[in-house]
A = this chain, B = another copy of it.
Amino acid sequence: MKNKAALGMLAVFLLFMLPMMPKARAAEGMWPLSNLPVAALQRRFHFTPTARWIRHVQLASVRLAGGCSGSFVSPHGLVLSNHHCAVGCLEGLSRPGENLMAHYFYAATRRQEPRCPSMEIEQLVSMRNVTAAVDGATRGKSGAAYAAAMRAISNRLETTCVAGHARKWRCEVVRLYHGGQDWLYKYRRYQDVRLVFVPSQATSFFGGYPDNFNYPRYDFDISILRVYTHGKPAHTPQYFRLSSRGPRAGELVFTSGNPGSTERGDTVAELRALRYPVFPLLLQLLAHQQGLLEAFSAANAHNAAIAAGTLFFIDNDIKSIDGQLAALHNARQFARKVRAQALLRAKVAANPRWRREYGGAWKAIAMAERRNAAMLLPDTMILDARYFSARLFNIAFDLVLGAHERTLPDAKRMSAFRAANLPLLEQQILSRAPVHPSLDKLELVSTLTMTRDLLGTDAPICAALFAHHSPREVALHAVEGTRLASVAFRRTLWQGGERAVATSTDPMIVLARKVLPFYLRLYRQHEDEVIAPIEANTAKIARLRFAVYGTRFAPDATFTERVSYGVVKGWLRDGKPVPPFTTVAGLYAHARGYNPLKLSPRWLAARHRINPDTPMNLVSSNDIVGGNSGSPVINRAGRLVGLVFDGNPPSLGGAFWYDDANNRAVSVDSAVILAALQHVYHANALVKELRSGK
């Protein structure tokens, strides 16, 4: 048994025995199109992507503004994505008493394709490096001044790029390498998105929550949408044609999509803050919400239907954060992080110029994280409460906050309220998706009660909101008295701006007005004391990394277009190999008589029509995270061979590191997409369009 002191000495010794540069793992990296790992691809796979190949991938890939990826799969605007990426559309299209997720849907002709009430699909048309402009505008600034300068330059670049056509173009300053590089991405926006095909959720999410983030899987998690311009299918000459046979084991494949966010460039202090207090609090709030909605759903089928969409995402988030928290408590992996940071800091310490320039960055970030922890409860309940709260309140708050923000010059507004983003916001506020006051009551009572419980009866916001009534009474009064279920009423308030909102006596608007000053103060405080110092100092560290390691590493994910390469292969779980493919036969074998293992009538009936050997799902070593849902899996020839819809359990640590031996992306095989559309759903016109482009 060694004592502590001896172990301390050993640690010091080991520190200098380690290789001086962390190595990128095999298939690690979500690469921007501007920096594909060409050398590695050539060396390992004798494949060199041509400019034409890259351009094709760029234009055939799309982003779903709700947080997913997708791709064009015909020249007539046909988009392939996941069923779970179309949930908002399906909920919005469900009439009262109807639940579009309970059944499959297929529009055999274009006239039968209904428009999703609130959906935007975006195609990346150009990218421009604007690092010099951003550096020039922000250099030497910190704190509030840095944040203001960053907002101003972003706004100037984006406004110029959009050139007054905010409904057609979206322009975004994209920070790669945490500010080491800045780019201006320009997107073609499609807001007329229509539904062509979805299976039932029982089929898309077969195996349900217990199988989620697991493998083997048997999910047909697809949705097929179509984008329209001027009432006609958009012309999309760059698209991926589906392979009828899918990929082979060991084959090189690429994913193209929009991974949401990763923390691979984060400092140790930031990862520690996630371990505690951020993730445990978030898990607690999500689990509370999960219990609330489960009990609500248990009351009757109508309740179950209207809560299903939210519950799906809560379940998913819980499982995802559970996995991330587990990864952060992997002592070996975390120690690698600590060592890598120590190595970088040792380099800084040894170089006087670097010490001056970068030496304070880690401490500044650690201090910002301490501020963040101190403000976590009010931030969560006031800034983030919308995540947990009722739709009618969210609409009211968007109206009130939107009225306030629109009085400011564009550059000073919060991102969601800048001119470029107003069309999307307006679409959400004026969405015809039905409101559910019974659910809103439950959620608003819960959010307000929890605000009071966590912040305390005497917190200023509680004194303001609950002066004479309980959180429950305040919530019920607002939901029962509001007229915001009416889209026309919302439109009046939206168009009426600050004056209309200030004079409204609608109780939900009144409630949102009371929250506003607290929200604004906290937002600014969070921006100045947490976001700005973290961004500024992370950018410093990123510049340092550039100086040391160059761009041999892929930047952290930013919900922008990235390509990852990988190989179709399984992994070892508890020492036993997990094969890369499942088959249609496996689907039938895994089925039981009850949910979530119940086959839909269509699949039951098709049992003898569809070839049981058809590959169903597959895993590959592509480096993906949330946001990649709906990403096409393509081969060297640019054919679509699969559709990403999940990751295996170890992939949840992908937020912080990539582990080639274990991280796997889970996809629907293109073979089963074509086979099932034909033999299970008899979607002949659709199959023809997918096969022939006509």
In the assembled complex, 9 residue pairs joining A and B whose CB atoms fall closer than 8 Å, in A order, are: A1-B345, A1-B359, A8-B8, A275-B276, A277-B326, A287-B288, A295-B442, A466-B594, A470-B595
Docked complex: A254-281 residues within 8 A CB-CB of B: 275-277, 279-280
Within 8 A of B (CB), among A306-360: 318, 322, 325-326, 329, 342, 345-346, 348-350, 355, 359-360
Interface stretch, picked from A9-17, A38-46, A605-613, is: A9-17
Residue from the list B12, B318, B441, B592 in contact with A5, Cβ < 8 A: B12
A298 proximity list for chain B (CB < 8 A) = 441-442, 445
Contact with A597, one of B2, B289, B457 (Cβ below 8 angstroms): B457
Q: Which residues of B contact A595 (CB under 8 A)?
A: 470
3 tightest CB-CB pairs across the interface, nearest first?
Answer: A291-B291, A295-B295, A4-B342
- Cross-chain contact B469 with A593 (CB below 8 angstroms): yes
Kindly state whether residue A573 has any CB partner on chain B within 8 Å.
Answer: no
Is there contact, CB below 8 Å, between A342 and B292? Answer: no
Could you tell me the distance between the alpha carbons of A362 and B3 in the complex, rounded to whole angstroms? 11
Q: A1-B363, A284-B322 given. 12 additional CB < 8 A pairs?
A: A1-B345, A5-B16, A209-B453, A277-B329, A280-B280, A280-B283, A284-B287, A290-B291, A291-B294, A291-B446, A293-B295, A295-B295
For the complex, what is the distance from the CA of A678 to the CA of B244, rounded to whole Å?
86
Give the number of residues in A that approach B within 8 Å (Cβ atoms): 70
Verify if A468 is at the interface (C-beta below 8 Å from B).
yes
A211 at the binding interface (Cβ < 8 Å): yes
Pick the contact of A211: B290, B325, B457 (CB < 8 A): B457
Classify the interface of chain A: helix, strand, loop or mixed: helix
A51 interface residue per 8 A CB criterion: no
The residue from B275, B360, B597 contacting A1, defined by CB atoms under 8 A apart:
B360
- Nearest CB in chain B: distance from A347 CB, A: 9
Given A8-B15, A287-B291, A291-B291, A214 contacting B456 (CB threshold 8 A): yes
Interface residues of A in 16-52 (CB under 8 A from B): 16
Min Cβ gap A155→B in Å is 35
User: Residue A299 at the B interface, CB < 8 A?
Assistant: yes
In the complex, the answer to whether A342 meets B299 with C-beta atoms within 8 Å is no
Task: List residues of chain B with CB within 8 A of the CB of A277.
Answer: 326, 329
A630 at the interface (CB under 8 A from B): no
Interface status of A473 (Cβ within 8 A of chain B):
yes
Inter-subunit contact B210/A468 (CB<8 Å): no
Q: Which residue of B lies closest to A473 (CB)?
A: B594
Kindly state whether residue A553 has any CB partner on chain B within 8 Å: no
CB proximity to B under 8 Å, residues A389-428: none
Verify if A296 is at the interface (C-beta below 8 Å from B): yes
Which residues of B lie under 8 Å from residue A285 when comparing CB positions? 287
A207, CB-defined interface residue at 8 Å: yes
With A and B bound together, what is the CA distance between A198 and B362 in angstroms? 57
Expressed in whole angstroms, the Cα–Cα distance for A468 and B593 within the complex equals 6
Q: Do the beta carbons of A468 and B1 come within 8 Å of each other?
A: no
Q: How far is the CA of A453 from the CA of B363 in the complex (A)?
A: 41
Q: How near does chain B come to A126, taking the closest CB pair, in angstroms?
A: 41
A15 CA to B3 CA in the complex, in Å? 11
Residues of B contacting A63 in the complex (Cβ-Cβ under 8 angstroms): none
Give A510 to B595 CA distance when docked, in angstroms.
22
The answer to whether B293 and A290 touch across the interface, beta carbons within 8 angstroms, is no
**Cβ-closest chain B residue relative to A441:** B298
CA distance A199 to B350 in the complex (A): 70
Cross-chain contact A325 with B457 (CB below 8 angstroms) = no
Cβ contacts under 8 Å, A441 to chain B = 298
- A83 contacts the other chain (Cβ, under 8 Å)? no
* A470 / chain B contacts, CB cutoff of 8 Å: 594-595
Interface string of A451-489 (1 = CB under 8 A from B): 011001100000000101110010000000000000000
Smallest CB separation, A647 vs chain B (Å): 17
Q: How far is the CA of A589 from the CA of B209 in the complex (A)?
A: 49
* Distance from A14 Cβ to chain B, minimum over Cβ atoms (Å): 10
- With the chains together, A592 CA to B283 CA distance in Å? 33
In whole angstroms, what is the CA distance A288 to B294 when docked?
9
Expressed in whole angstroms, the Cα–Cα distance for A291 and B346 within the complex equals 48
A291 touching B283 by the CB < 8 A rule? no
Interface pair A12/B8, CB less than 8 Å apart: yes
Give the residue name and chain of the B residue nearest to A326 (CB).
B277
Whether A325 and B276, one on each chain, are in contact in the complex, defined by CB atoms closer than 8 angstroms, is yes
* A349 vs B5: C-alpha distance when bound (angstroms): 11
The CA of A690 and the CA of B652, in the complex, are separated in Å by 62
Task: Report the Cα distance A287→B359, complex, angstroms.
Answer: 42
B292, B342, B466, B593: the one within 8 Å of A294 (CB): B292
CB distance from A489 to the nearest CB of B (A): 27
Residue among A207, A209, A279 facing the most chain B CB atoms (10 A cut-off):
A209
Most B CB contacts (10 A, CB to CB) among A348, A470, A595 go to A470
* Bound CA–CA A291/B292 (angstroms): 4
Q: Which residues from B are CB-within-8-Å of A16? A: 5
**Which residues between 205 and 248 of chain A lie within 8 Å of chain B, taking CB atoms?**
207, 209-211, 214
Asked if A355 meets B4 with Cβ closer than 8 Å, knowing A209-B453, A292-B295, the reply is no
A4, A325, A363, A595 interface centre (most CB from chain B within 10 Å): A4
> Is the pair B349, A210 in contact by a Cβ cutoff of 8 Å?
no
Most buried by B among A11, A292, A360: A292
Interface pair A325/B280, CB less than 8 Å apart: yes
CA distance A209 to B470 in the complex (A): 13
Cβ distance A472 to chain B, nearest Cβ, rounded Å: 8
